[in-house]
Structure formats: structure tokens, C-alpha cells
């Protein structure tokens, strides 16, 4: 089982996005992107809520980038 290490800067940055409800753009390795706010993260996934209030589960393995908007 993978340990969720909050000591990593990348984990802390995502936690700040969640805490501050920062709008983000998430780029995927498929060259698609999604925009919204990250509701939560765990060691495997992010939950992104888009502008239509749809909740999208995104596996961390599919991430190319996450940037604030």
C-alpha cells in the first residue's frame, strides 16, 4: 500500500489548492485538460469539481500538470 506523504512539496501544494478553493487546470497525459476546483486527494486520485458542479475522479497516474488559474 502506498503511503500518503504530506511532507512532499507537491502534496502540500495540492492541499493548499484544496484549502483555498483555488481554481486549477489539470492537464492529462492524453492531451486533454479539465478546469475546476480540487475537492480532495488521496494517494491514488484527485476529485475535481468542474464549473457544472460535476465531480470528476482523476487518477494521479494520468496527470501531466496541475496549475492554478
Residue ranges of the domains in the chain?
9-68
Reference 42, options 13, 7, 6, 4; nearest CA is 4
Residue 3's pLDDT is 65
Residue 32's pLDDT is 96
Q: Are strands 55-59 and 45-49 parallel, antiparallel or unpaired?
A: antiparallel
E strand segments, the chain: 23-28, 33-41, 45-49, 55-59, 63-68
Terminal CA-CA length for the chain? 33
| pLDDT 10s digits, 7-61 | 889 899 999 999 999 999 999 999 999 999 999 999 899 999 999 999 999 999 9
* Cβ-contact 14, 38 below 8 angstroms: yes
pTM above 0.85, yes or no: yes
Query: Candidates 3.40.50.1700, 3.30.1490.100, 2.30.30.100, 3.40.50.620; correct CATH number of 9-68?
Result: 2.30.30.100
Asked whether the predicted pLDDT for residue 62 surpasses 60, the reply is yes
Amino acid at each position: 500500500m502506498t503511503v500518503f506523504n504530506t511532507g512532499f512539496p507537491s502534496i502540500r501544494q495540492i492541499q493548499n489548492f484544496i484549502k483555498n478553493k483555488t481554481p486549477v487546470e489539470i492537464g492529462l497525459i492524453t492531451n486533454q485538460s479539465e478546469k475546476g476546483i480540487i475537492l480532495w486527494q488521496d494517494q491514488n486520485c484527485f476529485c475535481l469539481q468542474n464549473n457544472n458542479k460535476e465531480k470528476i475522479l482523476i487518477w494521479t497516474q494520468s496527470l501531466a500538470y496541475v496549475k492554478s488559474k
